[in-house]
Amino acid sequence: MRYELMLPHQIRTAIADNWPVVLPLGVLEYHGEHMAVGMDTIAVVEALHLIEPELDLVILPPFYYGAASYAVEPPEGNGSLQVSGEKLFPFAQELFTSLLRVGFRNIHFFIHHQTENFTAGMPTDLAFKFAARQAIFAFLERERGEGWWGKGTMADYYAQHASGDDPFNWIKGHPLMRPEHMEGYPFDHAGIGETSLMLSMRPDAVDLPRLDDARWYTRSAKDASAELGDKGRDLILAELRRILSGRR
Q: Which is nearer to Zn ion, 112 or 129 (CB)?
A: 112
Q: How far is the CB of 238 from Zn ion (least distance, A)?
A: 21
Q: How far is the CB of 41 from Zn ion (least distance, A)?
A: 9
Q: How far is the CB of 223 from Zn ion (least distance, A)?
A: 17
Which positions from 72 to 101 touch Zn ion by CB under 5 A, shown as an x/- string? ------------------------------
Least Cα distance to 240 among 178, 157, 162, 152 occurs for 178
Q: Which is nearer to Zn ion, 40 or 125 (CB)?
A: 40
Which positions from 175 to 194 touch Zn ion by CB under 5 A, shown as an x/- string? -------------------x
Which positions from 22 to 51 touch Zn ion by CB under 5 A, shown as an x/- string? -----------------xx-----------
Least Cα distance to 33 among 78, 75, 67 occurs for 78
Q: Which residues pair with 21 in a beta bridge?
A: 58, 107
Q: Which is nearer to Zn ion, 40 or 46 (CB)?
A: 40
Q: Which is nearer to Zn ion, 136 or 176 (CB)?
A: 176
For 208, other C-beta atoms within 10 Å of its C-beta total 14
Q: Which is nearer to Zn ion, 97 or 218 (CB)?
A: 218
Q: How far is the CB of 176 from Zn ion (least distance, A)?
A: 10
Query: CA-to-CA distance for 97 and 163, rounded, in angstroms?
Result: 24
Q: Which is nearer to Zn ion, 97 or 114 (CB)?
A: 114
Residues binding Zn ion: what is the number (CB under 5 A)?
3
Least Cα distance to 39 among 200, 180, 174, 181 occurs for 200
Q: How far is the CB of 243 from Zn ion (least distance, A)?
A: 21
Q: At residue 149, what are phi and psi to the nearest 5 degrees?
A: -75, -30
CA distances from 143 to 159, 168, 236 (A): 22, 15, 37
Q: How far is the CB of 2 from Zn ion (least distance, A)?
A: 24
Q: Which is nearer to Zn ion, 14 or 39 (CB)?
A: 39
Which positions from 193 to 222 touch Zn ion by CB under 5 A, shown as an x/- string? -x----------------------------
Please give the residue whose beta carbon sits closest to Zn ion in the complex: 40
Three-point CA angle 21, 25, 31, nearest 5°: 150
Determine if 239 is a binding residue for Zn ion (CB under 5 A).
no
* Helices 39-51/226-245 angle, 10° precision: 60
Q: Which residues bind Zn ion (CB under 5 A)?
A: 39-40, 194
